[in-house]
């Protein structure tokens, strides 16, 4: 799983950490295009709950997902601190609604641990690995998995 983000020459990785559904997640910084304040989106009919709608990002129509709902952690409550992380993977751009963005984390490759062997296949798909920060465990989100399951409803 880890080799997705493996780069042969660099061993230092930078992640942006954020919280969704009261859990800590992070995404590799190179996948993130921008972080913007939550603005009301245009709802789409006949879509699962984790699809909030579409937003105008400088002329591109991008779908916004509620990351917590996507991971089955319940919908993100309305809050002023909510932000949308605009991320791109393989030609598609999506927005992820999260509760808040915390910090930039710079870690060694060796600091990323493999996802513990948990029962849920879906969770293992969605999490590339975990990083231990102080007392917290930060989950590395597999953006591809989020995109892959885009049509299939909540993970």
For other proteins, the binding residues (CB under 8 A) are 41-48, 51, 54-56, 58-63, 92-94, 150-151
Q: Which is nearer to other proteins, 24 or 93 (CB)?
A: 93
Provide the minimum distance between the beta carbon of 63 and other proteins in the complex, in angstroms, as a whole number: 4
Please name the residue that has the structure tokens 């953006």: 143
Kindly state the smallest distance separating residue 114's Cβ from other proteins, in Å. Answer: 31
- Phi first, then psi: give them for residue 111, nearest 5 degrees: -75, -10
Residue from 93, 71, 69, 66 nearest 82 by CA: 66
- Nearer to other proteins among residue 15 and residue 38 (C-beta): 38
Of 55 and 138, the one with the shorter C-beta distance to other proteins is 55
Least separation in angstroms between residue 150's CB and other proteins is 7
Residue 144: CB minimum distance to other proteins, A:
15
E strand map for the chain: 12-20, 23-28, 32-37, 51-57, 60-66, 83-89, 92-98, 100-108, 112-114, 127-133, 136-141
């Amino acid at each position: 799983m880890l080799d997705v983000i493996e780069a042969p020459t660099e061993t230092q990785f930078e992640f942006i950490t954020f919280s969704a559904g009261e859990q800590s997640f992070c995404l590799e910084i190179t996948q993130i295009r921008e972080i913007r304040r939550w603005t009301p989106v245009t709802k789409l009919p006949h879509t699962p709950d984790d699809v909030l709608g579409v937003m105008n990002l400088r002329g591109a129509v991008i779908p916004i997902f509620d990351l917590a709902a996507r991971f089955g952690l319940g919908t993100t409550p309305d809050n002023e601190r909510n932000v949308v992380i605009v991320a791109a993977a393989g030609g598609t751009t999506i927005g992820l609604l999260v509760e808040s963005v915390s910090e930039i984390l710079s870690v060694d490759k060796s600091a990323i641990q493999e996802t513990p062997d948990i029962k849920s296949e879906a969770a293992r798909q969605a999490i590339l690995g975990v990083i231990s920060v102080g007392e917290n465990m930060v989950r590395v989100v597999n953006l591809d998995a989020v995109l892959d399951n885009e049509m299939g409803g909540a993970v």
